[in-house]
Amino acid sequence: MSGPRCKSPEEIALIRKAGEIAARVLREASVQVIPGMTTRSLDRLVGELILGMGGASAFLGYRDFPANCCISVNEGVVHGIGNERRLQFGDIVKLDVGVRYKGYVGDVAMTLAVGGCSPLSQKLMDVTVAALYKGIAQATAGNRITDISRAIQRHVESNQFSVVREFVGHGVGQSVHEEPQIPNYIDDRHSGRLKPGWTIAIEPMVNVGGAAVEILADQWTVVTRDRQLSAHFEHTVLITDGPAEILTRDGMTPLY
């Protein structure tokens, strides 16, 4: 990968549009998730929504990924592929949507309950989304990547949950994954100073149990090794001299 690159105003406008489409797709798909639907039908719905809003799936075909979006259930962490599994009341589903618009990408994810969920599942989701916003609050020019990482890790671990190490946030632009890497834990190998014009995806992945994960036989689906629950939230943001701008908003309304 090449090093981090500051985006031009014209590029930022296209990433913002891609992010807006991704956020609208995620919102519209999330309200249609019900017990009994298959994850394959949810993936199909996401694909139809993306095309209907003038975008293209940024994930379909990326490194041969075979689906329109990533759908990960319960112990699934990230990169799940829609199939014939039927969602059950009480499941928690991670829905990760990437949209390409005129050559630029917006990337957003959320975790939602199917019909309802246990108090533990709700706490896990609440802690993860709060960790995301604590990370975003540190995403300002002059701060270091480790400031984002520290804010996320401290919040997660203060709530007795664990942070996934093997998968991290990343730059976003013409590719789904660009430099820099944005770990959700302190890693001094990734401690550069944030610069205005960077567009990055911040995405804590948080487990109820241990941090360890493994990849299933399909070579994509990541699950917790101990098969305990995991949650995932993500926004694409623009680094500025002031507060970060969240580019994955549905209009001016935050998704969560």
Residue 56 domain-assigned (yes or no): yes
> Position of tokens 């994810």?
109
Into how many domains does the chain fold?
1
CB 111 within 8 A of CB 126: no
The C-alpha atoms of residue 137 and residue 133 are separated, in whole angstroms, by 6
Residue 1 lies in a domain: no
* Residue 67 · residue 81 · CB < 8 Å: yes
Q: Classify the phi-psi angles of 64: left when phi > 0, otherwise alpha if psi is within -120 to 50, otherwise beta.
A: left
Q: Which helix (H) or strand (E) holds 97?
A: strand 92-101
Residue-number span of the structural domain to which 162 is assigned: 9-246
The answer to whether 22 touches 107, Cβ cutoff 8 Å, is yes
Q: Quick check: is 254 in a domain?
A: no
Cβ proximity of 104 and 174 under 8 Å: yes
Please give the pLDDT value at position 250.
Answer: 84
Residue 246, pLDDT > 60, answer: yes
Percent helix, strand, coil in the chain (nearest 5)? Answer: 30, 25, 45
253 occurs within a structural domain: no
Size of the chain in residues: 256
Q: Which pLDDT value is given to residue 1?
A: 45
Inside any domain, residue 184:
yes
Average model confidence (pLDDT) across the chain: 96
Tens-place pLDDT, residues 11-57: 999 999 999 999 999 999 999 999 999 999 999 999 999 999 999 99
Q: How many percent of the chain have pLDDT more than 90?
A: 95
In a domain, 252, yes or no: no
Domain at 128, CATH number: 3.90.230.10
pLDDT for res 253? 72
The β-bridge partners of 95 are 71, 110
pTM of the model: 0.96
pLDDT band at 88 (very low <50, low <70, confident <90, very high): very high
In a domain, 125, yes or no: yes
Q: How many whole angstroms separate alpha carbon 239 and alpha carbon 220?
A: 30
CB 238 within 8 A of CB 6: no
Confidence of residue 2 (pLDDT cuts 50, 70, 90): low
Q: How confident is the model at residue 81 (pLDDT cuts 50, 70, 90)?
A: very high
Rounded Cα–Cα distance for residues 232 and 202 (Å): 10
Q: What is the dihedral of CA 72, 73, 76, 80, to 10 degrees?
A: -30
Among the listed residues 237, 218, 229, the one whose alpha carbon sits nearest the alpha carbon of residue 82: 218
H or E stretch at 136: helix 119-137
Distance between CA atoms of 237 and 144, rounded to whole angstroms?
15
Amino acid at the residue 213: V
Do the domain assignments include residue 255? no
253 touches 130 (CB < 8 A): no
